Structure 1
Amino acid sequence: MTVTPKVPETRPDGFPAVRPESRPELLAPGSPACRVLAEPLTALYGLPGFLLPLMHPATAAATLKRDPVFADPDADILDFARRLRDTIEMIAGAAHAGEEADHIAYAMRELHRPMRGEDTRGATYHAWTRDIWTWNWAAITAGFMRGYEVLRGWPDREFRDDAYLGLIEVGRRFGVLGMPATYGEFLAVWPAERDRVADPRNDGVRTLVGLTRARGLPAPRALRAVPLPLWALVTAPIRHFLRVAIMVGLLPEEREMIGFPERAMDRVSLRVHVAFWRLVLPRAISYRVGLAWMSARARWSTPVWRTHFSAEALAARAESA
């Protein structure tokens, strides 16, 4: 008798409704995913990992309403930098925070539990809806994988595929359902899912893209009296780096979707950055730098999962909701 293998439940649109099996070995020290998540370039060029999820109309609506860097008119560039750092650390911490990794995953889920409302297109949403949760993780995964590919280059296909599987394992800890089982499948499925759902020019996306322009880069309070031409001159390196980050993490069609015109100088700058990461700073060294940063933050500092997203803070927030 022939036994037909069970095919995961799928829908004409959306990701398969399956949860991957736990595979902690994919995040073991030295594994491809561990190396990708420890790379300093993941944090330095992390803007796409913040920007791509904002293309989802529900994520954009929740962020614009609840995230201080978007909801507070006094938020400045330092607030955006800290917000990006905290996001990267929460994601990388699921692999690198040791005994605290489980709390980080719990905090990530609890952070989004109360988020519901009306998205940028007027439809109702809840952040924990399977498709929204998975779509956002797929967007983050797409940005991380592309960023590493562009700046580092995959040493081989096995490394690339295991890095993707490790990111699936991180997503599983966050409660993500239905990511494609292989990176090849992801590359085939994600563009259609992205285009089906995305609201690429909502206010959240426009705010982040606006950071690459002097007028859209909010100055700290002490510098708000600085004339715009001087502010543009002083912040040129920062805005240049943000432009490169978008070039690194977004595909050409994604840059077109968000209205990010590519300049000739952008291509030159990208080549310089690629040359640095491939020729000047070897993988082994930068990987250790990333591990040292995570270790130092955990030992001598207060990462966000110990403050704003500590068990006590989450419980207090739930009581006041």
Structure 2
Amino acid sequence: MDGGHTHTGPDTGSAPGPDTGSAPGPDTRVEPVPFAPGSILWDIAGDVRLLLSLPAALVLQVAHPAVGAGVDDHSVFRTDPWGRAERSLDSLQLWVYGGEQALEEGRRLRRLHRTISGTDTRGRAYHALTPAHYAWVHATAYPVFLSAAQYLFHPLDETDDRRLYDELLRLGSILGINRRDMPRTPQEFWPYFDTMVREELEKTAVVSELLDPRRPIPPPPGAGRFLRRLWPVLRPPLARLHVFVTTGLLPPAVRDHLGLPWTACDERRLRRFGTVVRTVVPLLPERLRYLPRARAARRAARG
């Protein structure tokens, strides 16, 4: 389950997921349209602050028993954490900045997940391309983007909130997700999300690993001798910061449901951290503020 989203879910013969509010009807697949400057995702998906928010989306994804089982059974996140993260990040960047390449990347991801199946912790069969759960993995981006906007960027007003959701639906079309498998509006999203949290999510083994600051992570590939020697000193505080920010960017209802401690002091610390990030990152030069594929796309758009 590498090279992009960890799309997994129970087999289509299992019970359906929560009703999204969409009426049954004809196929609602939309012809994918690549992203361009002027969209919200174009502005935020390549910003380095994305690196702080993506782990929260992954935790939301693997808190679903089927997704967690798929990652547990098929991912190399334990044996190759840096490589897996790099492949996933590059895939995500292609979705937004790849132009026509984005469409091929969406098709590649579906091909990649065709053979991924198994049994989740509740004894249910899963398959990676089950529509309801393939859509759940994508749906987790919305609440995490909103949390990242609140703490790390700037809160979205109602108009931009709706624009962001519409863009995520467009992104879903690039990934091969049928519109009828997603809530149609932000207003329909939250009842769907609350039902998923209440009826499906649990503290899976993968969630516990991802939120364990003692999890063994080797130094990055290609690290020089100096960094390798310092890594035993650097890794613990970096791991604690990673777990802290990841937990803080999860929706409060998810933290409560999974039994993740979060205090008023933690909230104040996260807000102070966010203030520093919001102040410093916009001052960085473009080569430090944006990820490589986003920088190249921005240069090309200006040219």
Is 2:166 aligned against 1:161? no
Structure 1 residue 219 displacement after superposition = 4.0
Contact in 2 for aligned 1:244/1:269 (Cα 8 Å): no
Structure 1 residue 91 displacement after superposition = 2.3
Q: SS of 2:77's equivalent?
A: helix
Computed over aligned residues only, the root mean square deviation of the Cα atoms, in angstroms, reads 3.4
Q: Which residue of 1 aligns with 2:18?
A: 13
CA distance in 1, matches of 2:207, 2:247: 15
Decide which of 34, 46, 49 is 2:42's aligned counterpart.
Answer: 34
Q: SS of 1:180's equivalent?
A: coil
Is 2:138 aligned against 1:137? yes
TM-score normalised over the length of structure 2: 0.76
Structure 1 residue 221 displacement after superposition = 11
User: Are residues 37 and 147 of structure 1, via their aligned partners in 2, closer, same or farther at CA, if it must alter by over 3 Å?
Assistant: same
Contact in 2 for aligned 1:105/1:173 (Cα 8 Å): yes
Q: Which residue of 1 aligns with 2:216?
A: 217
Q: Which residue of 1 aligns with 2:11?
A: none
Comparing both structures, which one devotes a greater share of its residues to helix?
A: 1
Contact in 2 for aligned 1:46/1:88 (Cα 8 Å): no
Q: Which residue of 1 aligns with 2:193?
A: 190
Alignment of 1:257-272 (within 5 A): 257-263=257-263, 266-272=266-272
Q: Which residue of 2 aligns with 1:56?
A: 64
Q: Which residue of 1 aligns with 2:4?
A: none
Give the fraction of aligned pairs with identical amino acids, expressed as a percent: 23
User: Are residues 12 and 48 of structure 1, via their aligned partners in 2, closer, same or farther at CA, if it must alter by over 3 Å?
Assistant: closer
Alignment of 1:1-321 (within 5 A): 13-15=18-20, 16=22, 19=28, 21-22=30-31, 24=33, 27-70=35-78, 75=79, 79-177=80-178, 178-198=181-201, 200-210=202-212, 213-214=213-214, 216-219=215-218, 233-263=233-263, 266-282=266-282, 289-290=289-290, 292-295=292-295
User: Are residues 145 and 80 of structure 1, via their aligned partners in 2, closer, same or farther at CA, if it must alter by over 3 Å?
Assistant: farther
Q: For each residue in 1:26-64, what CA deviation from the matched residue of structure 2 results, as whole angstroms up to 9, or x when unmatched?
A: x32121122121222112331112111101111111111
Q: For each residue in 1:219-243, what CA deviation from the matched residue of structure 2 results, as whole angstroms up to 9, or x when unmatched?
A: 4599xxxxxxx98753233123212
Letter in 1 for 2:133: I
Q: SS of 1:68's equivalent?
A: coil
Letter in 2 for 1:133: Y
Letter in 1 for 2:206: G
Contact in 2 for aligned 1:147/1:248 (Cα 8 Å): no
Q: Which residue of 1 aligns with 2:224?
A: none
Structure 1 residue 126 displacement after superposition = 1.4
CA distance in 2, matches of 1:90, 1:14: 29
User: Are residues 63 and 159 of structure 1, via their aligned partners in 2, closer, same or farther at CA, if it must alter by over 3 Å?
Assistant: same
Q: SS of 2:126's equivalent?
A: strand
Structure 1 residue 173 displacement after superposition = 1.4
> How many corresponding residue pairs?
271
User: Are residues 61 and 260 of structure 1, via their aligned partners in 2, closer, same or farther at CA, if it must alter by over 3 Å?
Assistant: same
Larger Rg: 1
User: Are residues 13 and 69 of structure 1, via their aligned partners in 2, closer, same or farther at CA, if it must alter by over 3 Å?
Assistant: closer
Letter in 2 for 1:140: A
TM-score normalised over the length of structure 1: 0.72
Q: SS of 2:18's equivalent?
A: coil
Structure 1 residue 263 displacement after superposition = 4.9
CA distance in 2, matches of 1:124, 1:264: 40
Unaligned runs of 5+ in 2: 1-15, 222-229
CA distance in 2, matches of 1:275, 1:12: 38
Structure 1 residue 293 displacement after superposition = 4.7
Q: SS of 2:71's equivalent?
A: helix
Contact in 2 for aligned 1:36/1:163 (Cα 8 Å): no
Letter in 2 for 1:126: H
